[in-house]
Chain A
Amino acid sequence: EAGVVQSPRYKIIEKKQPVAFWCNPISGHNTLYWYRQNLGQGPELLIRYENEEAVDDSQLPKDRFSAERLKGVDSTLKIQPAELGDSAVYLCASSPRGKGYEQYFGPGTRLTVT
């Protein structure tokens, strides 16, 4: 069974540029999460989807961040415009419905904003 797939693995952009991250969860997992992990810190939840519905986006900086999960499968996280402080690893995870503790993480996208 394939795991959570994320692309790209690495991205370097200049500040004020847009950037997008893509995630394909494990087949059959209804719940999808996007996290941001700063260096030396634990993951911080940005948004959680149940199928195509964003059920928790309270931590998403909505002025510059947006996300979508069309058809309840793949998801895209976008930043526009990027700031220096957005440099971090962006992790996508998925879990079976009702098993929020059993999350399967992708390898992450390491974003560097210069």
Chain B
Amino acid sequence: AQKITQTQPGMFVQEKEAVTLDCTYDTSDQSYGLFWYKQPSSGEMIFLIYQGSYDEQNATEGRYSLNFQKARKSANLVISASQLGDSAMYFCAMLGGGYQKVTFGTGTKLQVIP
């Protein structure tokens, strides 16, 4: 079985500051992937970033980076230079079971303050 845990129901960050959203996972798979989605209030799910379990370097996509610590089973999302448009729900997810099974966490609501 695989599990994703996001312990921060809500976060606030000042505009232009960096913020870290926590994600821990549990799996018995040796090969798996971790990724993050953003869900604005409009409801659509937007893919942000992906990290494979064998990737040695942390993934980065523009202002998003994934702080992958395999020994701690964590895959935190770091957003640099927060913008008002970053206010949304953020979901951490895992792709395991031979890259076939997808599991989402419960999400973190991020609010960026002007």
Give residues in A with beta carbon < 8 Å to B: 33, 40-45, 48, 55-56, 89, 91, 93, 98, 100-108
Task: Give the residue name and chain of the A residue nearest to B101 (CB).
Answer: A56
Residue count of chain B within 8 Å CB distance of chain A: 23
Count A-B pairs with CB separation below 8 Å.
55
Q: B64 on the interface (CB 8 Å rule)?
A: no
CB distance from A42 to the nearest CB of B (A): 3
Q: B106 on the interface (CB 8 Å rule)?
A: yes
Give residues in B with beta carbon < 8 Å to A: 4, 33, 35, 37, 42-47, 50, 91, 93, 95, 99-107
CB distance from B60 to the nearest CB of A (A): 16
Q: State whether A105 and B45 are in contact (beta carbons under 8 Å apart), knowing that A41-B107, A42-B106, A56-B101 are contacts in the complex.
A: yes
B contact residues around A91 at 8 Å (CB): 45
A105 to B35: give the CA distance in the assembly, Å: 15
